[in-house]
Amino acid sequence: HFTDDIRRANELKNDGINYLDVGVSGGVWGEKRGYCLMIGGSQSEYEFLEPVFKALAPGVSGAKRTQGRENEPSPAENGYLYCGESGAGHFVKMVHNGIEYGLMAAYAEGFSILKHANQGLDKTDVDAETAPLESPMNYKYELPLKDISELWRRGSVISSWLLDLIAQEMFFSEDLDNYTGKVSDSGEGRWTSIAAIDLGVPTPVLTTALYSRFFSQQSDSFSNRVQSAMRHAFGGHQEKNTLNGGEK
């Protein structure tokens, strides 16, 4: 939590220790391709350690250069950035993860709609307690989810690394049966929402995505399995069995 960085930096300064907070993103894949670094603390200490950060980052080849950027690649283009005073690095990383929650939830909900587009093929009981599907003839699609995820990787506006990971996981198991759909949260989403409240900044998408993770820990649905698959693919995160506190 970025507030811990502020406290630690102040305490350690009294002992002659310079403290930098460095948020990283790249998951388990960062070991091979480098990872994004978000750095906070003393600028002079950052400059002293900059060769280390540059060596760990993906480098400018990690992404196509933004149109208009033609001079010597900046630190940001190389995959690392000095963000500001103590706490700034982890503050930026915190918001990064809040955005990640929202992106993952959007993909998960979209794929869940695709998966359930075959409900018109089902024979369901109609009673006073259950609203029937109004137009079953409109929802008779058995959609190839793993091929759709592969299709959207090519030329689509919503292509991304997260979508790459969905396609990878669905290739091996289209129904994602190896996941229960219990999506854990490691804290950053909560901290992002709290910071938004402190600052008076409306974040309905990010906060709702956080609440959906809370809900998933008490339920099972395909959209939650999509999120679990992404977390495992990019970060090696194992599903937590919330019933007995163990890992699944």
Residue 88 Cα distances to 6, 163, 188, angstroms: 9, 29, 14
CB burial of residue 110 (10 Å; 0-12, 13-18, 19+): middle
Which residue reads 């820990």 in tokens?
217
Catalytic residue among 93, 115, 169, 182: 93
In the chain, DSSP assigns E strands to 21-25, 36-40, 80-84, 240-241, 246-247
* Residue 93 is among the residues annotated as catalytic for this protein: yes
CA atoms within 13 A on the CB side of 168: 12
Amino acid symbol at 48: F
DSSP state, residue 130: B
- CA separation for the pair 192, 68 (Å, rounded): 32
* Residue 100 is among the residues annotated as catalytic for this protein: yes
- CA separation for the pair 146, 151 (Å, rounded): 9
Catalytic residue among 77, 100, 169, 188: 100
- Asked whether 79 and 58 are in contact (CB, 8 A), the reply is yes
Catalytic residues: 93, 100
